[in-house]
Each structure stands twice: as structure tokens, then as C-alpha cells.
Structure 1
Amino acid sequence: MASAMDNGGIVIGLVIVALVIRRQLRTRPVYGSGPLLLLGLLGLLGIVAVVFGVASVVKYHPLGAATIALTAASLVIAAGFGAARARTVRVWRAPEGQALRQGTVVTTVLWLVSLAVHIGMDRWIDHTTGVGLLGVSTLYLYLAVTLAVQSLLVRRRAAAVA
């Protein structure tokens, strides 16, 4: 059962990341409510999934320090990838004055590496629990953190572009 949940979570993660990458490669305004709604949804799903993941694990044994540390490290890594990707996004002002952004090939590569690293962290987290139910549950929270950091830094860069 845990394997099917892992595979389903990975497929959902791949679909979400593919949609995010596709969206980021398009020229679009820096400011808007769309990213905020997506971040809110991913954050909410992430918190709910982690709570259920933790509840599933503690049925079998208490969470260990390694599991907690790896989960926290995963979110720090998410922030780091968000910061790295933000530097690869082109930001400029249109003649009308609107701030625009567009991801690059490097942005895409960093997304793919980020997803691979997260999948590896999921496996490691699950190895520490001995149950295999927690790692995949961190996916939405990971995506919320990485997108939030990237969005915040791109918005800062846009504010500095004259």
C-alpha cells in the first residue's frame, strides 16, 4: 500500500511540476493573485498531508530525531532551490511599465534537479521511519516553500528593475 501511495504522490508531483515549469517558461506579469492562490492551496494541502503522514507513522512507532531533521532539511533545501531558480528568471519592464518575468532553460533544469532531490529525500525520510508513509506526504509543502521563496525573490528583483 505504501508503494502505491508513493507512486501516486510522485505522479501527482510530476504533473504539478510539469504544469509549473510550463507556466514559468511563458512570459507573464510578476504581480498577480494567481501565484498567491497556488501557494495557499499547496501550503494547505502540504500541512494536511504532513499531519496525516505523521499520524500514519506514529501508529507504528514514534518519530525519531533523524526523521524530523530530514523533513526540516528537505524544506530548507526547497528554499535553497527556490532562491537559485529566482536568479535564473528573466525580469524586465514592458514599455507600458508592467513588470514581466520568464523562466529560462536553467530554471527548468533546476526544477527537475529539485524534484529529483526531493524524491531522494522522501526515500531517506521513509527509510528513517521504517514505515514508508511520511516522505511522499511532504511533497506539497516542499512545492509551497520552493515556490514561495522563488516568487518572493522574483518580486524583489522586479521592484528593483526600473
Structure 2
Amino acid sequence: MISTADTSLAVNIVLGLLVLVWILSRQVQKRPVKPSSLRAPVILAAVGLYETASFLRSSAPAAGVPASVLALLALGVVVGGALAAWRGSQVRVWRDTDGTVVRQGTGLTVLLWLVAIGAHLGLDVLIDHADHGLSGLGSASLLLYLGVVLGIQSLVVQRRAQILPA
């Protein structure tokens, strides 16, 4: 019999992979830079925060979530944020012939996304092996992670777009 936790983990993994495919496909498309481009990251982060909190409420040991686990989650966000800032600095940003500021990711953008996801999953493995009963926390927090790092990358790209000459 499949448990609710297994089903939730599978749903989180599938959702995370679908979002990742959506993000990667949009990264390499030529698209206008919009000041409102933080809507998707905020939605992802909000859903991810809810998923993470739900997971912790249902899975945390009676003594609470160990500080080491919270530190690993924080480390993941810091590393992801640094990679997001780097990605944002490597995205091509230019003024199109009609004056519209556009952006387009490159192969390096995709590679840095894959490294960031690999780092997140690596920290998930560390949490799983810490044996605090929190196996699957990395998967539960994947949408939160994606929202935060996508937001940071978007902010860097927006800032670069603002300083382009007219």
C-alpha cells in the first residue's frame, strides 16, 4: 500500500520536474524583460513555502526540526542564490531593433541551472542521511527553492536591463 507521504513526495518530485522543464525552456527563449517578471517566482515560492511547512508539520520529530537540517536548507538557498546571481549576469540582455529590452539565456544559463538543482538535490541527500525522519524535505522544498532562485536571477536581469543605454 502506498502511503500519503510517498504520494506527496512523488507529487512534489513531478511538480518540481515540470516546473524545471518550464523554467529551462523559458530561459533560452528570447523574451522581453518586464518589471513584473517576479510574479511567477513569488507564486512558486509561496506554494513551495506551503509545501515545505506542510511537510515539516507532518514529518518533524517531536523534538522539532534539528538546527543542522535548517542550516542545510539555508545553505542550499545561499548557494542557489549565488548561482542565480551568476546566471543573471550571464543572460544576454540587449535592446531589440524596436527599442524593447530583451533577454535570452545561453547554454551556460542552462548549465548553471542544472548545477543549482544538483546542489539542491545533493543537500537533500545529506538531509536524508542525517536520519532525522525528514527524508524528502529537499523534494518538499524544491518549489520554494526554485521560486527564490528564479526571483534572484530575475532581479539581476532586471537591474542589467535598467542600466542599458537608450
TM above 0.5, yes or no, is: yes
For 2:133, the equivalent position in structure 1 comes to 130
Provide TM-score, normalisation by structure 1. Answer: 0.89
Q: How does 1:137-148 map to 2 (within 5 A)?
A: 137-148=140-151
Q: How does 1:1-40 map to 2 (within 5 A)?
A: 1=3, 2=5, 5-33=8-36, 35-40=37-42
Taking the aligned partners of 1:21 and 1:60, their CA distance within structure 2 comes to 39
Residues paired across the two proteins, number: 161
C-alpha RMSD of matched pairs (Å): 1.8
Query: Is contact 2:124–2:136 with CA below 8 Å preserved after alignment?
Result: no
Q: Deviations over 1:102-147 (max 9, x none)?
A: 0001101111111111111122223332341422111011001110
For 2:97, the equivalent position in structure 1 comes to 95
Can you give the 5+ residue segments of structure 2 that lack an aligned partner in the other structure?
none
Taking the aligned partners of 1:148 and 1:76, their CA distance within structure 2 comes to 13
Taking the aligned partners of 1:85 and 1:40, their CA distance within structure 2 comes to 19
Instruction: Please identify, of 96-105 and 116-125, the stretch whose mean Cα deviation from structure 2 is larger.
Output: 116-125
Structure 1 outlier segments of 4+, above 3 Å: 1-8
Provide TM-score, normalisation by structure 2. Answer: 0.87
Structure with more of its chain in helix, by fraction: 1
Can you give the 5+ residue segments of structure 1 that lack an aligned partner in the other structure?
none
Query: Is contact 1:56–1:133 with CA below 8 Å preserved after alignment?
Result: no
Taking the aligned partners of 1:92 and 1:6, their CA distance within structure 2 comes to 41
Query: Is contact 1:79–1:146 with CA below 8 Å preserved after alignment?
Result: yes
